[in-house]
Amino acid sequence: MGYECRSQDHRLSRRQLLGALAGAATGSLGLADEVRAQNKQVLFLWLDGGMSQLESWDPKPRTEFGGPFRAIPTTVPGIHISELMPHTARQMQHLAIVRGMCTRDENHSTGVPLIQRGDPRNRGVTYPYLGAAVSNFIAPANATLPPYIHIKPYGGGFQYGDGGFLGPRFGALALGDGQPPIHILRPETIAEDSDAARNRLRAEANRRFVEGRRGEEAAAYDYSFEMAQQLMRRRELFDLDRVPAAVRDRYGRHPLGRHLLLARRLLEAGITFVKVTSFHWDTHADNFHYHIDLMNQFERPFAALIQDLADRGMLDHTLVIAMSEFGRTPKINEKLGRDHWPAAWSLALAGCGIKKGVVYGRTSDKGSSVADGQVDIGHLFHTIFAALGIRNPRYRVRGQPLPAAHDDMAPIREVLL
Amino acid sequence: MNDAPVTTVDPTRTWEAKTIPVPRQLLGCRISSCGEYVVAGDFAGAIHRWHLASDRHTVLAAHSSWVKALVFHADRRRLYSTDYAGTICCWNYADEEPQPIWTLRDAHEGWIRDAVVAGDLLVTAGNDARIRVWSANNGSLLRELTGHGCAIFCLAVHPDGRTLASGDNHGVIKRWDLTTGRHERDLNAATLWHSPEATMSLTGVGGVRSLAFDRDGATLVAGGMATTTSANFAQGTPAVLAYDWAAGSARPSLRIPDPFEGFITSLAFHPDGFLIGAGGGVGGALWFWRAGEQDPFASLRGLRHLRETHLHPDGQRLIAATFEARGQGGNGRRGNIAEYVDNAGAVKIYSMTPRPSPPRR
């Protein structure tokens, strides 16, 4: 298991690492190989700060806390979502909405990692983020591209911490503003043989650096460089100018539109887990004014992505998850904002292993609590693993078996095929 | 309230003369041209009407979304109301139980943010970036003014009755000839707009939140937020910009020396010539500036968040729609969820005349 890696691991190839270590991590190598062979993929859309459930998946027009927006019908009779999501409403036949999320943490700083790690309570170890966990379980051993890519605003780099106890190698290769790691490219002013010499020098420096240091983290430096190099062999993926203008317009030219279009292309190229983060959903003031703009930036490209994945037959093997760390308060504050509300919120799923056109869970008339079908993040992690065909997912850390999600929770069967 | 016939207006002695609680939050308020009725629009789509002398309360029900803009016709009969579903209603406001005389649905795509009356014209604007000019008599559409590139927050009619100023989210003020619909000029209020790039947000924050002309129409003032530290919290300092209307040039901005976080939500010139600015953010405040001076000569702070204020035609009172906190607020859930209740609103009447002495015993 990666948590206990010794130095010989560092000389293993990435393919060997993913195959052997991850297989051992599941404790069931045969099952892991079977799942890996199915080339399942995940698109994880993270709306950081907390999207309002009342202005998206769970509208309550003309109620005490409902806000000024109306609900609109979708392609699935009886299911209504906010009028701010007209394009998504036309894709409802592909979606499953979970309206009964009830989690504990009301803070961003602790809530984000807690939710993305699946909130495994009182385990005494740092669990991997969802992208690392899924990559660990299902990334094909013969993949030629990084298994876990994170498209995000601002800067990029390698996010070692995402690996948790799986080790830094399972971190995310982050692409700042969706840009490729261009520093990997050989500048035209440097000849090929000079570049090769540079790389040999770098490798030697890395080797010396690794010596005498704790194995995993030091080895991850080389690994992340290798991953970036692999990705740059496919740098045409990043050239959105190759995409017809009409398609780019469907996604929108704003950052989230561009990032979701890039995510589709990376999924098409075979990346196992693509995470797309959009920041600034924390609408403590002018929630309604802001959500007009925010939802437009989210729901148009989201609907375009769902439609494109469906048209390409990719939803059969690609799981799509759109969520935040919590929802927003039903109560409207003095600045016309909504604050943090983990007690009753919503998310959406689509694709691989997920029922189409369903809603699970119901919030109270006020939207302040879950009235029926209450689930926690542990239920969601079980659901994600089950949708991907990962049965009884477990880790082994220092010889100790650990559940990959709360062992007192179970998948949400009502949204699973 | 105390309606003692005091005539001396002294903003330095402004005081809260009356509070009328409302169970739902309010967005806007107005006092009728006759000075007898106050109206306020709430989150439930209700228009609350109070007869000031008798305190009689009536609800005008026709809207299905938040009611923001309310405007009285100078004929002392008609009231126009608009909502966030794009609906306009016209009422005879003094009727015993008013019903809409006419209603326009989908008058705008989405929210109507502001409305003004210029003679027999009703002018509305909102999130669809369009200004529409209607017959104030029958609601027929007369013309549409296009040119703003984003949501329009506020309108003001020049004292000449035929020129309009409109302010938008991105800090653009446009000057229009209402009789022809011609766009005449832009005024730059870009300092009131804080872009997504500047604020590291998806939406940006700010815009022209309020406009007012002085009595002779020589000066236009625009309210908003001058600086911001957080778009998500709309944190920043209030600002009032001033313009020479004829020249279309900027005049020195007015100063707000007090620490305050929020927008200038309303502006109004008093008949005596001084300017009244209302602040809404974390709490509320009122500031008063004399003509030609940049620093306020009076202020009233520590108020509730002022969503909107409107000057009574007697010049002695200011009507405000305020926010009133109820129950648990802020992040997360604490306590009994059954006690989780909505915040509320109130209409407050501030008097700018000296507070009467208490009766002697």
From chain A, pick out residues whose CB is under 8 angstroms from the CB of B85: 68, 70
B202·A337 Cβ contact <8 A? no
Task: List % helix, strand, coil for chain A (3-state, nearest 5).
Answer: 40, 20, 40
The nearest CA of chain B is from the CA of A69 a distance in Å of 8
Q: How many domains does chain B have?
A: 1
Cα distance between residue A337 and residue A344, in whole Å:
17
Nearest CB among B43, B202, B282 relative to A293 is that of B202
From chain A, pick out residues whose CB is under 8 angstroms from the CB of B329: 331, 333, 339
> Which residue in A256, A334, A338 has the most chain B C-beta atoms within 10 A of its own C-beta, making it the best mutation to test that interface?
A334
Phi-psi category of A177—alpha, beta or left, where left has phi over 0 and alpha has psi -120 to 50? left
B203·A290 Cβ contact <8 A? yes
What are the pLDDT digits (tens) for A67-122? 999 999 999 999 999 999 999 999 999 999 999 999 989 999 888 999 999 977 76
* B153 lies within 8 A of chain A by CB: no
Task: List % helix, strand, coil for chain B (3-state, nearest 5).
Answer: 5, 55, 45
Q: How many domains does chain A have?
A: 1
Q: In Å, how far are A50, A227, A407, B181 from A120, measured between CA atoms?
A: 21, 29, 9, 63
Nearest CB among B127, B202, B342 relative to A65 is that of B342
Region B165-173: what's the mean pLDDT? Answer: 98
3-state SS class at B246: coil
A335·B281 Cβ contact <8 A? yes
Tell whether pTM > 0.95: no
* B44 lies within 8 A of chain A by CB: yes
Model confidence at A214, pLDDT cuts 50, 70, 90, reads: low
Nearest CB among A65, A282, A334 relative to B232 is that of A282
3-state SS class at A409: coil
Does B4 have pLDDT greater than 60?
no
Does A36 have pLDDT greater than 90?
no
In a domain, B361, yes or no: no
In a domain, B70, yes or no: yes
The nearest CA of chain A is from the CA of B353 a distance in Å of 29
From chain A, pick out residues whose CB is under 8 angstroms from the CB of B45: 62
Residue numbers of B between 112 and 131 with CB closer than 8 Å to A: 127
In a domain, B2, yes or no: no
pLDDT of residue A32: 63
Tokens describing residue B39: 């109206």
Residues with Cβ < 8 Å from B349, sequence gap 6 or more? B1, B16, B17, B18, B19, B20, B38, B317, B318, B319, B320
pLDDT of residue B1: 43
User: If interface means Cβ-Cβ distance under 8 Å, which residues of chain A face chain B?
Assistant: 49, 62, 64-65, 68-70, 106-107, 256, 278-286, 289-290, 292-294, 297, 329-335, 337, 339-343, 366, 368-369
Residue in the block written with tokens 């062992």: A407
Does A124 have pLDDT greater than 90?
no
What are the pLDDT digits (tens) for B295-304? 999 999 999 9
A340·B205 Cβ contact <8 A? no
Region B33-48: what's the mean pLDDT? Answer: 97
What are the pLDDT digits (tens) for B228-275? 888 888 889 999 999 999 999 999 999 999 899 999 999 999 999 999
DSSP state of A77: T
The nearest CA of chain A is from the CA of B274 a distance in Å of 28
Does A374 have pLDDT greater than 70?
yes
From chain A, pick out residues whose CB is under 8 angstroms from the CB of B283: 334
Does B124 have pLDDT greater than 90?
yes
pLDDT of residue A227: 80
Cα–Cα nearest to A81, from A107, A99, A64, A106: A99
- Looking at residue A149, which CATH number applies to its domain? 3.40.720
Beta strands B78-83 and B283-289, pairing class: unpaired
Does A373 have pLDDT greater than 80?
yes
Contact A286, B151 (CB under 8 A): no
Cα distance between residue B299 and residue A381, in whole Å:
55
Nearest CB among B85, B327, B331 relative to A340 is that of B331
Nearest CB among B66, B127, B232 relative to A285 is that of B232
Cα distance between residue B278 and residue B288, in whole Å:
9
* Structural domain harbouring A236: 2-415
Residue in the block written with tokens 């991105």: B170
Handedness of CA A83, A84, A89, A92 (dihedral sign): negative
A334·B205 Cβ contact <8 A? no
pLDDT of residue A198: 85
What are the pLDDT digits (tens) for A288-304? 999 999 999 999 999 99
| Higher local confidence (pLDDT), A327 or A169 | A327
- Looking at residue B254, which CATH number applies to its domain? 2.130.10.10
Model confidence at B7, pLDDT cuts 50, 70, 90, reads: low
What are the pLDDT digits (tens) for A234-288? 889 999 999 999 999 999 999 999 999 999 999 999 999 999 999 999 999 999 9
In a domain, B154, yes or no: yes
Least confident of A263-277, B3-17, B313-327: B3-17
* Structural domain harbouring B281: 11-327+341-351
